[in-house]
Homo-oligomer: A and B are copies of this chain.
Amino acid sequence: MASEKQNKAIDLSHHLSDLSRRRQVSPLKGLAKYMGNPNLIALAGGMPHPSYFPFADVSASALVPDSFSLHPAQPEEESSLSWVWKLFGASTRKEKTTAITIPKYASDPMNDINLAVALQYGTAQGILPLQKFLQEFSSKIYQPGYEDFTTLVHTGNTDGWARIVLTLCNPGEMILTEEWTYPSALATCQPYGISPVPIAMDSEGMRADDLYKTLAEWDESARGAPRPHVLYTVPVGQNPSGATMGLKRKQEIYDVCVKFDVIIGEDDPYYFLQQGAYKPKSDRGSVTVKSSEEAYLHGLSPSYLKCDYQGRVIRLDTFSKYVAPGSRLGWFTCSPQIAERLERQGETTAQAPCGFGQSIVAQLLTTWKHEGYVRWLHGLAIEYQSRRDYFIDSLMEEFHVMQSVSNKSIWAGLDVYECSVKPTTMTEKASYKKIFTFTPPSSGMFLWLEMHFDSHPSFREGDEETLEMQLWTKIAEAGVLVAPGWFFAATDEINDAGKGHFRMSFSNAEFPTMKKAVKIFAQVVKEFYNEH
């Protein structure tokens, strides 16, 4: 279907919220054709003269695109140089940089990045060189299934998702989500009286069959809300489960969305952190083949955009994971009709993203060029692979681990690691008692542990959340902050009899600190399971 490049635009009038409907097409009415015309002398807006911007230029020492090796660091390499700088922290490492500079003035002010334009009032579309880069990037990487898709900057995926909600949903409506999901996405909806309908998950994330069933059997009077027409999903390195969805499942979900006229909000911050399957240390072997950029891109699960022949996907991309969270910069890829509404929605809040951020990021990207940015992303993916591997290796050192292929629906077909306490003495009570289970993520930043609270000596039915918070507090008091599972439950009804969850991130801590954290975690958990 993707190859047909059809362009049957969906009928947006079925989807716009009352809020979006009431927004003017443009607050400027008939004046728009004169606004921004560079041949007119502009006395209309309250724009300061650029000589009043207190900067002659802004510059940065930008890292080179190949700053990170494509050769994963392995525990065996503890004595190697690469290991040494990790041990002592990146802060002491000499980074290889190129100077980038954004001048105040440019001879071609629209096409060359300059402060006089980037720091002036601008449209919510952002500066042109950034727009161009993003349009080309989305086109090359995601290959949307229709021709006239467009890109539009936003100030991060949280802002992007908030704009989608307000553009498409009325108060009292419900949205479709994974049963475990990103809490901030729900916190955005909740005050507007927009609540989630959790869809069952498996090893690939959201299940198409449960989505179909939920929509087909929707009973408006029983539910107290019309059938949902907006779906929120994190399809890669799912937050919190770490699941990654392949193209086939995306196609199935897309087809359900076509049938029931649902718009897909694809929140995909971890897309480029696809790391391949985890292999236990013993199976890894010491030689790693350095892969090419083409192989890297080819190995990435395609975006929902690739299935999208109707313009019903709104993809959210962010620079938070690849440049920096503080850049507060990302972009939508969607149909121009939806982009127009999202742009209006943004005009009365944050307006355009920060001009310092836009110009610095645009200068970085245009200096690196498309290929350089892909190389940077590839390097990061390998970094996260090393981090994931090291984190799981550390966990496996602390527990007795049984590896199997799961037949439980949520992890069907995947490698599952069942962890129990390593017996140290014959008298240890909890020996080989199942403590937690996980499946190694193939993308993203998170390890999602299913805790077997039913193995806890004092467990009684219904105690899951109490035990989860008791254990969470003990871990925190011992010096490690993990994320408790309840935080990610789409609704209070989501639970797993006898189980609890923790989400652990391997994205931020130094390697020795990760090991220390895992040791502390193991110590606290073992003590907890030994309680009477």
Of B159, B188, B326, the contact of A120 (CB 8 Å cutoff): B326
B58 touches A60 (CB 8 A): yes
Say yes or no: A105 contacts B119, CB within 8 Å.
no
Interface residue? A79 (CB, 8 A) = no
* CB <8 Å contact, A43 and B350: no
* CB-CB under 8 A for A49 and B507, given A54-B323, A184-B27: yes
List 8 A–B pairs whose Cβ atoms lie within 8 Å, in order of A's numbering. A35-B481, A40-B480, A40-B481, A43-B505, A44-B482, A55-B364, A155-B351, A162-B349
A20's nearest neighbour on chain B, judged by CB, is B191
Contact A508 B47 (CB under 8 A): yes
Bound together, the chains give a CA A57 to CA B101 distance in angstroms of 12
Q: A351-B158, A513-B41 are in contact. Are A55 and B60 (CB under 8 A)?
A: yes
Complex Cα gap A503–B508 (Å): 52
Query: Which of A212-220, A355-363, A426-434 touches B?
Result: A355-363
Name the residue of chain B whose CB is nearest to the CB of A156: B351
Residues of A52-108 at the interface with B, using a CB-CB cut-off of 8 Å, are 52-63, 67, 90-91, 93, 95, 97, 104-105
B380 touches A52 (CB 8 A): yes
Q: In whole angstroms, how far apart are the Cα atoms of A313 and B173 in the complex?
A: 35
Tell me the A336-393 residues at the B interface (CB within 8 Å). Answer: 347-358, 360, 364, 376, 380, 383
Contact residues in B for A357 (Cβ distance below 8 Å): 354-357
| Residues of chain B with a CB closer than 8 A to A122's CB | 325-326
Interface residues of A in 175-193 (CB under 8 A from B): 183-184, 187-188, 190-193
Instruction: List the number of copies, as a whole number.
Output: 2
A156: chain B residues at CB < 8 Å are 350-351
Q: How far is the CA of A183 from the CA of B44 in the complex (A)?
A: 13
Against B, the Cβ 8 Å flags (1 = close, 0 = not) of A21-62 are: 011100110110011010111111111111111111111111
* Cβ–Cβ < 8 Å partners of A509 in chain B: 41-43, 49
Q: Does A506 contact B (CB under 8 A)?
A: yes
Asked if A245 CB lies within 8 Å of chain B CBs, one says no
Q: What is the bound-complex CA distance between A60 and B99, given in angstroms?
A: 12
Residues of B within 8 A of A28 (CB): 487
Chain B residues with Cβ below 8 Å from A303 are none
A42 is contacted by which of B50, B60, B508 (Cβ under 8 Å)?
B508
CA distance A196 to B426 in the complex (A): 77
If A324-B355, A349-B162, A354-B357 touch, whether A60 touches B63 (CB-CB below 8 Å) is no
B355 x A326 contact (CB < 8 A)? yes
Residues of A in contact with B, size category: 35 or more
A351 touches B324 (CB 8 A): no
Task: State the 7 A-B residue pairs at the shortest beta-carbon distance, nearest first.
Answer: A326-B355, A51-B90, A354-B354, A119-B324, A119-B326, A56-B61, A350-B350
Mask, A457-474, CB within 8 Å of B = 1, is: 000000000000100000
Cα separation A341 to B93 with both chains bound (whole Å): 42
Complex interface: chain B residues within 8 A of A90 (CB): 49-51
CB distance from A528 to the nearest CB of B (A): 17
Known pairs A44-B505, A54-B376, A184-B347. 6 more at Cβ < 8 A?
A22-B190, A43-B483, A55-B360, A58-B360, A155-B351, A327-B355
User: Are B326 and A56 within 8 A (Cβ)?
Assistant: no
Q: Is the CB of A507 within 8 A of B54?
A: no
| Interface flag for A229 (CB, 8 Å) | no
A275, CB-defined interface residue at 8 Å: no
B contact residues around A184 at 8 Å (CB)? 27, 347-348
Contact of A39 among B56, B327, B356, B479 (CB under 8 A): B479
Q: For the complex, give the distance between the alpha carbons of A329 and B353 in Å.
A: 10
Given contacts A55-B62, A321-B48, whether A352 and B364 have CB atoms under 8 Å apart is no
Residue A484 interfacial (CB < 8 Å): yes
A445 within 8 A of B: yes
Contacts of A49 in B (CB 8 A): 90, 507-510
CB distance from A429 to the nearest CB of B (A): 28
A305 to B41, CA, bound (A): 38
B380 touches A351 (CB 8 A): no
Rounded to whole angstroms, the CA-CA distance of A215 and B182 in the bound complex is 45
Does A19 reach chain B (CB closer than 8 Å)? Answer: yes
Contact, CB under 8 Å: A239 / B354: no
Q: How far is the CA of A147 from the CA of B202 in the complex (A)?
A: 55
Please report the C-alpha to C-alpha distance between residue A439 and residue B105 in the assembled complex, in whole angstroms.
Answer: 36
| Residue in B105, B354, B506 whose beta carbon sits within 8 Å of that of A326 in the complex | B354
**Which of chain B's residues have a CB closer than 8 A to the CB of A348?**
158, 162, 184, 187-188
Complex Cα gap A61–B444 (Å) = 38
Given the interface pairs A54-B62, A91-B105, A347-B187, the reply to whether A239 lies near B325 with Cβ below 8 Å is no
On whether A324 and B504 interact (CB within 8 A), knowing A27-B184, A35-B481, A41-B517, the answer reads no
**Distance of A134 from chain B, by nearest CB (Å):** 17
Considering only CB atoms, which chain B residue lies closest to A27 in the complex?
Answer: B187
Q: Kindly state whether residue A300 has any CB partner on chain B within 8 Å.
A: no
**Interfacial chain B residues near A232, Cβ < 8 Å:** none
- Chain B residues near A116: list those with CB within 8 A: 91
